[in-house]
Structure 1
Amino acid sequence: MNHSEVRATASAQRRWRQIKDMMTTTTITAGGIGVLLSILLIFFYLLYEIMPLFRTAGIESHSHYSLQSDSPAIFLAMEEQAEVGFRISESGQVLFFQVADGKVVLEPDLPLSAPVRSFALESEDSRVFALGMEDGNFAIAKHDYKVSYPGDQRLITPSVSYPYGEDPLFLSDSPITQLAIRDSEEALVVVGVADNHLVGRRWNKEEDFLSDEITLVDETLNLPTLDINADRLLIGPTQQWLYVVSNEGDYRLISLRTLKIADRGRLFEDAGLSDVRFLLGGISLIASSDDGRVAQWFVVRDKARESGYRMQFVRDFKAKKVASNLVTEHRRKGFITLSDDGELNIFHSTSERRLLREDLDIGNIQSIAIGPRADTLLVETVDREIHTYAIENEHPEVSWSVLWSKIWYESYPEPSYVWQSSAANNDFEPKYSFAPLAFGTLKAAFYAMLIAAPLAICGAIYTAYFMAPALRRKVKPLIELMEALPTVILGFLAGLWLAPFIERNMPAVMSIFIVMPIGILLFAWLWSRLPVGLRSKVPEGWHPVLLAPVIIFIVLGCVEASAPMERAFFAGDMRAWLTNDLGISFDQRNAMVVGIAMGFAVIPTIFSIAEDAIFSVPKHLSYGSLALGATTWQSLVGVVMPTASPGIFSALMIGMGRAVGETMIVLMATGNTPIMDANIFEGMRTLAANIAVEIGETEVDSSHYRVLFLAAFVLFMFTFIVNTVAETVRQRLRQRYGNL
């Protein structure tokens, strides 16, 4: 081959090398950009799912029309689809009409024995109502709606039914000026005000076990005499409490079981009452004052009181104008206030949010109603004008305080951090606190790192710096192989084998943490006392092999001694001793089990990265240190470890990231109870496990669904921040020790 051919071949090889370099550079760059784009897409997709949670409500006017009526309305309502409206006037006239245009659908007559003096609604869900009359009788009725589809067109047919017959029921010899009713499977309770005195009756329902017929057994309630005007009456859903409120703002809480006053006080200081309603579920009272305030109250237990209960102020809301009209949502803990001149406010009680403030500018308001789906508002003015509005308010339950602050939930003795996203009844108050989930995430990661970090780092140091090369070639792949074990298997073993084993052998587990280091140090001391000739038979760097039987012997010895120790020191039951004597609660699936199982999963990650970092430290650095007179240990601490510190720190951060994001082990090895307790013997629920447990049960695009995406976003941001801080620290460590 001549000189020109050689040059041509070399030039072709250089071009091919340049092409391969360009292809490699392009591929790596494209891969890096793809990873960044994927992360950005995940970030923006999570934002897309959670942004609707923080939108404010909106309202839009749809129509207005006049209704022909002889008197103002005392009650307005709508059926499920908000297509048919229901109205009762002060004269007892009942009217069903089309919500869209006011066209009358049905105008039935109620079996009234005298003019109407009072009205009471049992609940929005049951649609049962009662009318108190001047002759002391009352009528109970229910507005019903039948949905059919003739010709594939929806047809809603309204009607009025009478659950207890068409004949009025007797309550008093005097006109009933105020009325409250509550129905249940066990009894019907009705309380009214006649001649400024409380009168009440209970009809207990007794079922004949042969004929299944229901018999009503009448019982008169001897209610206490009041020292305030009974201007408003409400009966709780369990028929335990009667709430009596005056227009001056005074209240009396009366037990319908003992028929005594359980508590008394004022709803507002220096202000009178404008309106009061039950919030969904009938546990909380929402009351508006004549100075623009709105307050939430409910009954809590109080051992200091003779009755054992008291009314508790929970939170308040500020409206700009006096809320003379108040209506609560049928399926959420929200409510709407409306002033006489049209200032509308939409609030949610649990989230403590004002979702909307709007001036409707429609004149003096007489009555309002909200649709069962909280998407339609019906407003009647004093001149019989009906105005309809469409409401957009999809996710009012979420706020910063709900997610991260203590909230006083209904029936709770005090404000708490609670996660409880669902329940068996429709009156449930969702509890979306991230605090116990974040705490559980950090708790699980802490105990996992507490076990994994020392073992993995110390193992990496010994394997990379002291272990014989032949033994290292066997040990390192074996530990790295542990990382391939599926976490679901680890979780399965932790939940079904490790947790019961620890519970049965508590003294053994506790003693291992004490005896193991002492036993290893004792063995090392004894080994140092053996003759040099005997010790020299073990090659340098093979000493860990001698420790294997020692560790096995210590573990087996502690397990065998577990029962005798338990009998000798803990009266035969260490778990009972922890609970009864120390007051430390114990769950079988707890943080210790999670720490051991997750530590086992995290150890290979930390070990592999840290060992590579230590082993990659140039040998001339340690040789130079040894040549200057430093011992092997001094060289390790003063030269090798600082040089490898960026890699070791990266190993710890990656291990912590895996512990924070771990799902299956936490899911299977803990009780999945979202509690905030640092006790190592208590379980927890993490953000990742919570998403895995509940995402399959949620309704798509519901508040619960989006809150789970918000939890994923919190986890994503936590990992991003930790990794950013870790990378910053790693770069500074590299700059500091890179010139060694």
Structure 2
Amino acid sequence: MSEINAPIKQPPATAKDGGSAASGMEPKRPIKISSGEYHQRWRLIKDALARYGVVAGGLGVIVAIVLIFFYLLYVVYPLFISASAAPVSEYPVPEQALGNTLLLAIEEQNEVAARFTDSGQVVFFNAATGKTLLTQAVAIPEGAHITSFAQGSPIKEGAVIYGLSDGRAIIAKQQYKVTYPDNVRLITPSLKYPLGEQPLALDESGAALEAIAVKVGSDSTTIVAKTADKIRLINFKKELSLFADEAALTRTDSVLDLPTAGIAEILIDKDESNLYLINNDGQLGYFDISDKSSPDLKQQLNVVDAGQKITSVTFLNGDLSLMIGDSSGLVSQWSMVRDKLNRPAMQKIRAFKVSDKAIIAINSEQRRKGFMTTDADGIVGIYHSTAEREMIKERVSDALPSTAILSPRANALLLQSAAGNMHFWQVDNEHPEVSIKSLWQKVWYESYPKPDYIWQSSSANNDFEPKYSLTPLVFGTLKASFYAMLVAIPLALMGAIYTAYFMAPGMRQYVKPSIEIMGALPTVILGFLAGLWLAPFMEEHLTGIFALLMIVPVGVMLFAFAWQFLPKTITQNLPEGWDAALLIPVILLSGWIAFQVSVPLETYLFHGTLQDWLKAEMGIGYDQRNSLVVGVAMGFAVIPTIFSIAEDAIFSVPKHLTVGSLALGATPWQTMIRVVLLTASPGIFSAVMIGFGRAVGETMIVLMATGNTPVMDLSVFQGMRTLAANIAVEMPESEVDSTHYRILFLAALVLFMFTFVFNTLAEVIRQRLREKYSSL
């Protein structure tokens, strides 16, 4: 026991202990980490980096998609901002003592306005302040006075005509010269006389011109004047001579065979080929004046309801439509369309109920299909005819309006009230062409026989009516995708099933990479081949293509039938899973036979070409670049995507499921249909959806392999235009921030939302399939 209780002796401290003995503690020894622990820690670090990298990448993709969505929304949003108008100034009528206002005009910079008076004076003044800049007098002959007045073309330099009491008339034209002294814009107004300052004698009897109209062209001027008993048509045509410095005027006179009583409005279109005479009771007479020597009355009709009177009428921009306002506050649009006998006729295509009061004035926009109305209560409304939208409705004056004008750029208006004040307003109306109706519904466009879905965004004509219907583009997108999937889905899925489940591993290692590498082909190459080779080939061998669809399956079935009668030494020596290789020469031979028999078959059945027979017998036209070409070319591009994903899904089905099914007595096909396909259905569905998304967003193949015309026709022999192709074609030519530019971004947003919604729905279905069949 003494030995047990004896104190334990500590060894003496040494210099190596570093004083540890003095503190009574053991010396620290370095911790050695084994190589296994080092690699384990490094794996944990790499796992963490990979985990955070995947999370960051996923969040980055989500952020990128969200940013794309919001950028598209940012560009598109201005299309749906409401128009607005705000007063700038109000001031007394400039030089009111010079007479009553017949016409107000304003130049495109909204700086200088003009007032044409009934005394023949023209007052140019500052539009914002009313300060008089210049006063000029039209040379009215002594003893004569103004009895009628009309505006010619308001585009750029507007022409006006004064009808006089002695049967003569004077044509004047306002012009504005822009200079920049000291780098400051200076607009100098003036008048000029296209046919000279001397009055033109229109009526030889000297009768007063009660109503008048003029259209001044570059080499021709047409005047229509009404006296108490006649309506005269006079045309002055300039003829250049090699030996004269100035052009000579050739005059043509004719008299219209129509009663003059009640004629209140005379209008001549910009081509000087159509004349419209309107009386206050709502009677419209339409003349063809292409031959100035013999005007031809084409149509007479009533254009207002019974009991109403026409209070204002003007051309819509382009002079293809008349905007007619009546005493009930209704503005109707009458346009020239072709009737059932292909004859031109005026027809009402739409109407706007703008007020309960009479329409005092209608002013058309000079660059768009919009117009401004002014009613008897001083309320000004701005509308767009194609979009059928009311953009602005504001009370500009409490007094009765007398005259109003919309600026050339439609961003300002000037109104004179009966109280003797001018009202100058600024207008913000950037995108009036856009509405739900113009984008998605049928619209009755000018010169069209009926409402329709049309996309035609631009033209060489400045008076063109833009047609922004997205419906034919969406239709074309779905049509192209449908035919592409019709080709791709059967081939890709059947190929994936056979490759993953029935094909020998040795053959699979060649087939699967070969099909997947097809997905690396640039779509521009596929489109190039489809447009320049496949489309002409299919046009020339259309009967052979359809014969191919019938003869090849028959050839394969005959080969399968003959296979069972071959000697067992041949059939049993073929390695299992290599059967498909034997079908390659069968398919090639069947295809060759199909094209060989197509020519005599076409001659015998259709007595000519199949295209001609379809046109004559069924009314089906054939376009060389059509949906059939797109289906084959785009289907070829989509097949690798669907095949690869579906094949992986089928091949990944656990082996114990297939082995167990076979062990229970099921045949390989029963196992495939009832076990493998159900288990792999989420992956197969994903493959189809990804392939569909690929087809929806395809651009180059559709762009090069179709006629790229936005037509709505289900025929497989007609082309189409898709949203993606339309954006690719028209975006480089669109003006930045224009309506056209923003609508193209709207098309991109529609494509984005369509893909997003469809893929989200597909993912929900895929998850339900996974939950339903995960227990197998």
Normalising by structure 2, what TM-score?
0.92
Q: In the alignment, what sits opposite 1:316? A: 351
Distance 1:224 1:666 in 2: 57
Q: CA deviation at 1:362?
A: 4.3
Q: Give SS of 1:581's match.
A: helix
- Summarize the alignment of residues 209-608 of structure 1 with structure 2, pairs less than 5 Å apart: 214-226=247-259, 229-257=262-290, 258-303=295-340, 308-322=343-357, 323-608=359-644
Q: In the alignment, what sits opposite 1:736? A: 772
Cα contact 2:267–2:277 (8 A) shared by 1: yes
The superposition leaves residues 651-698 of structure 1 with CA deviations (integer Å, 9 ceiling, x where unpaired) of 111101111110000001111111001111111110100000000001
Distance 2:40 2:525 in 1: 52
Q: Over the residues paired in the alignment, what is the CA RMSD in angstroms?
A: 2.0
The superposition leaves residues 599-639 of structure 1 with CA deviations (integer Å, 9 ceiling, x where unpaired) of 00000000000000100111111111111111100000001
Distance 1:320 1:300 in 2: 28
Cα gap change, 1:360 to 1:130, in 2 (>3 Å)? same
Query: Among 93, 110, 124, which residue is 1:96 paired with?
Result: 124
Q: Give SS of 2:618's match.
A: coil
Cα gap change, 1:287 to 1:668, in 2 (>3 Å)? same
Larger CA deviation: 229-238 vs 429-438: 229-238
Q: In the alignment, what sits opposite 1:720? A: 756
Q: In the alignment, what sits opposite 1:127? A: 158
Cα contact 2:551–2:590 (8 A) shared by 1: yes
Cα contact 2:95–2:123 (8 A) shared by 1: no
Larger CA deviation: 20-29 vs 394-403: 20-29
User: Does structure 1 residue 184 correspond to structure 2 residue 217?
Assistant: yes
The superposition leaves residues 352-403 of structure 1 with CA deviations (integer Å, 9 ceiling, x where unpaired) of 0001111224422111112111111111122432221111000000101001
Report % sequence identity.
49
Q: CA deviation at 1:18?
A: 3.5
Q: In the alignment, what sits opposite 2:146? A: 116
Q: Give SS of 2:190's match.
A: strand
Distance 2:165 2:578 in 1: 102
Distance 1:298 1:623 in 2: 75
Q: Give SS of 1:129's match.
A: strand
User: Does structure 1 residue 175 correspond to structure 2 residue 214?
Assistant: no
Q: CA deviation at 1:48?
A: 0.5
The superposition leaves residues 155-192 of structure 1 with CA deviations (integer Å, 9 ceiling, x where unpaired) of 11111111111111122232112111123356322112
Distance 2:696 2:241 in 1: 59
Q: In the alignment, what sits opposite 1:142? A: 173
Larger CA deviation: 597-606 vs 435-444: 435-444
Paired AA for residue 25 in structure 1: R
Cα contact 1:263–1:309 (8 A) shared by 2: no
Cα contact 1:221–1:259 (8 A) shared by 2: no
User: Does structure 1 residue 49 correspond to structure 2 residue 75?
Assistant: yes
Paired AA for residue 77 in structure 1: A
Distance 2:30 2:652 in 1: 45
Distance 1:509 1:431 in 2: 37
- Summarize the alignment of residues 566-715 of structure 1 with structure 2, pairs less than 5 Å apart: 566-715=602-751
Larger CA deviation: 511-520 vs 294-303: 294-303
The superposition leaves residues 531-566 of structure 1 with CA deviations (integer Å, 9 ceiling, x where unpaired) of 222111211100111111112222223333343334
Larger CA deviation: 26-35 vs 426-435: 26-35
Q: CA deviation at 1:338?
A: 1.9
Cα gap change, 1:268 to 1:227, in 2 (>3 Å)? farther
Distance 1:658 1:189 in 2: 59
Cα gap change, 1:528 to 1:425, in 2 (>3 Å)? same
Cα gap change, 1:557 to 1:215, in 2 (>3 Å)? farther
User: Does structure 1 residue 152 correspond to structure 2 residue 187?
Assistant: no
Distance 1:702 1:653 in 2: 35
Paired AA for residue 192 in structure 2: S
Q: In the alignment, what sits opposite 2:3? A: none
Q: Give SS of 2:275's match.
A: strand
Cα contact 2:209–2:225 (8 A) shared by 1: yes
Distance 2:445 2:726 in 1: 21
Distance 1:328 1:263 in 2: 24
Q: Give SS of 1:478's match.
A: helix
Cα gap change, 1:225 to 1:617, in 2 (>3 Å)? same
User: Does structure 1 residue 21 correspond to structure 2 residue 59?
Assistant: no
Q: Which residues of structure 1 form unaligned runs of 5+?
A: none
Distance 2:179 2:66 in 1: 49
Larger CA deviation: 247-256 vs 281-290: 247-256
Cα contact 1:275–1:289 (8 A) shared by 2: yes
Normalising by structure 1, what TM-score?
0.96
Q: In the alignment, what sits opposite 2:7? A: none
Distance 2:44 2:179 in 1: 76
Q: CA deviation at 1:56?
A: 1.2
